[in-house]
Amino acid sequence: MIKILAEQVLLGSPSEQQAASAKIYQAAADAGIRISSIAQLYGAIADGTVTQQFTVPAVNVRGLTMLTAAAIFRAAQQGEVGAFIFELARSEMGYTNQPPSVYVPLILAGALEAGWTGPVFIQGDHYQAKAASSGIPVAGEIAAIKDLISQSIKAGMLNIDIDMSTLVDLEKTSLREQQAPNLQYTNELVSYIRAIEYDIEVSIGGELGHIGGTNSTMEECQVFLSQVSGLRKLSIQTGTEHGGVVNADGSLAKMTVDFNLHKELTDFIRPRFGLAGTVQHGASTLPDKAFATLPQVKAVEVHLATGIQNLVFDHPAFPQELTKRIAEWVFENRAEERKEGMSEAQFMYRERKRVWGPFKQELWELPTEVGIKLSQAVEWRMGEFFDWLGVKGTRSLVDRLTTHATFEPDFSETAVIVADATITENLVD
């Protein structure tokens, strides 16, 4: 029954989507599944109530969403994990055809499929503005982001990451002048969220510097956080790049990452500004041993996307005929995005994320035995992540701290898809 409803959410008409979403939510609520904000947990970390060191994984599920979410919930059950997040970026919502009102019920369907109970954290990632010129957003961008925020909160995304780092004006000389647009629009969007949120605090993150740029500094933290309030965490740049650095043969090159920067900046901002800590983006393709480092250096959250996508697309069970058709689609429809000197392998690696939306029906109709193998692979991999990141055994902690009122989503609005809201070529993690 839940799978039939999920299919209607993914592939049905707007009216079918709305009706099926409402039924999924009611079934989830009846089963004890709670759409939640992680603000209370992050507040307890910030004030020292929580002393256990762990890094919360936030997973961008671009497709096969019910299947993937169910696998992650099963891995969480096995490890008694409560501290984990499902998220989707503004850019991803467009090319995966998953606006908030579609993504949230598919995650809840996965929770039901896995027999999950308790809090479920769902996050809007990289709510980011395109720049018309240095420090100036494209006309209508801020209004569009506000509309997306409104849709997100109504649907149950009670965690929002504001990313105005693309508006940092590096043509200016002083840090204060450089950060001025980031400060202005982050504050505007924080105020907007606080004005429309219900009686539950939406957990809000900010972003200091654009991922893929120069590493963040203590001085930037001081300038930014002394003028922005209401945040629970801060994304910084440590040397990673969204999607990883790809060699000509399609393999991943090593990234030089300053993980100790997390400890330095978390120790600086936590007592002074009351944030839980720093966030690591662009990390899912790092070497495995790097993930166990993150809790040690007090990174409060890490974002994972491309690694899970690669696991699915490159799995031996993934149908080769579908792989071939996906490649043909990429080379036919994304050819203008191929940069000079980019090998076919590099181009395919960068662009195959675009197929989740166009191929959503074919992916939904994968043979059962294929789905089982992919689900098992995701479950196993997430079990590894949970272990490395130190979140095993956090279930009782999260249950105890997540005490806010029950949230009831509103799926009555027709889903709005932004065709292409990608800001940077490699977004997202």
The encoded tokens of residue 310 equal 């690669």
Predicted pLDDT at 254 = 57
For residue 286, what pLDDT is reported?
79
Give the domain extent around 88.
Answer: 34-401
Give 272-312 as a DSSP string.
HH----EEE-S-TTS-HHHHTHHHHTTEEEEEE-HHHHHHH
DSSP 31: T
Does residue 187 fall inside a structural domain? yes
DSSP letters, 346-365, are HHHHHHGGGGTTTTHHHHHT
Q: Give residue 130's pLDDT band: very low, low, confident or very high (50, 70, 90).
A: very high
Is 29 a member of any domain? no
Question: CA–CA separation, 82 vs 274, rounded Å?
Answer: 22
Q: Is the pLDDT of residue 403 over 70?
A: yes
Distance CA 379, CA 111 (A): 13
Residue 187 tokens read as 């504050």
Over 70: is that where the pLDDT of 353 sits? yes
Q: What is the rounded average pLDDT of the residues 172-194?
A: 95
Name the residue among 287, 296, 311, 286 with its Cα closest to residue 261: 296
**Lowest-confidence pick of 152-161, 276-285, 377-386:** 276-285
- Percent of the chain with pLDDT strictly greater than 90: 80
Cα distance between residue 185 and residue 189, in whole Å = 6
Distance of CA 233 to the CA centre of its chain: 14
* Single-letter code of the amino acid located at 134: S
Question: Picking from 3-7, 231-235, 281-285, which range would have the lowest pLDDT averaged per residue?
Answer: 281-285
- pLDDT > 50? residue 32: yes
Lowest mean pLDDT among 185-194, 202-211, 249-258: 249-258
List of residues 6+ apart from 246 with CB closer than 8 A:
252, 253, 345, 346, 349, 350
Q: Is there a domain that residue 49 lies in?
A: yes
Rounded to the nearest angstrom, the gap between the alpha carbon of residue 92 and the centroid of all alpha carbons in its chain is 9
Query: 164 in a domain, yes or no?
Result: yes
Kindly state the DSSP code that residue 138 receives in the 8-state scheme. Answer: P
Q: What is the DSSP letter of 337?
A: G
Give 284's pLDDT tier (boundaries 50, 70, 90): low
How large a percentage of the chain has pLDDT more than 70?
91
Average pLDDT score, the chain? 92
More confident residue, 241 or 174: 174
Query: What is the arithmetic mean of pLDDT over 174-203?
Result: 96
DSSP 80: T
Q: Is 19 domain-assigned?
A: no
pLDDT of residue 285: 66
Cα dihedral: 56, 62, 66, 69 (round 10): -10
Instruction: Give 30's contacts (C-beta < 8 A, 6+ positions apart).
Output: none
Count of Cβ atoms closer than 10 Å to residue 370 Cβ: 15
pLDDT given at position 341: 87
Confidence grade of residue 399 (pLDDT, cut at 50, 70, 90): very high
CA–CA separation, 6 vs 28, rounded Å? Answer: 13
**pLDDT at position 242:** 46
| Residue 3 falls inside a structural domain | no
Q: How many domains does the chain have?
A: 1
- pLDDT of the residue at 326: 97
Confidence of residue 424 (pLDDT cuts 50, 70, 90): very low
Question: Do residues 8 and 16 lie in contact, with contact meaning Cβ atoms separated by under 8 Å?
Answer: yes
E strand or H helix at 159: strand 159-163
Alpha-carbon distance 383 to 379, whole Å? 6
CA distance 420 to 338: 17
Specify the pLDDT at position 245. Answer: 55
Average the pLDDT over 244-270 and give the result: 75
| Structural domain includes residue 93 | yes
Q: Output the pLDDT for position 427.
A: 44
**What is the average per-residue pLDDT within 79-87?**
98
Burial 115-141 (b: 16+ CB within 10 A, else e): ebebbbbbbbbbbbbebeeebebeeeb
Let me know if residue 136 belongs to a domain: yes
CATH number of the domain encompassing residue 99: 3.20.20.70
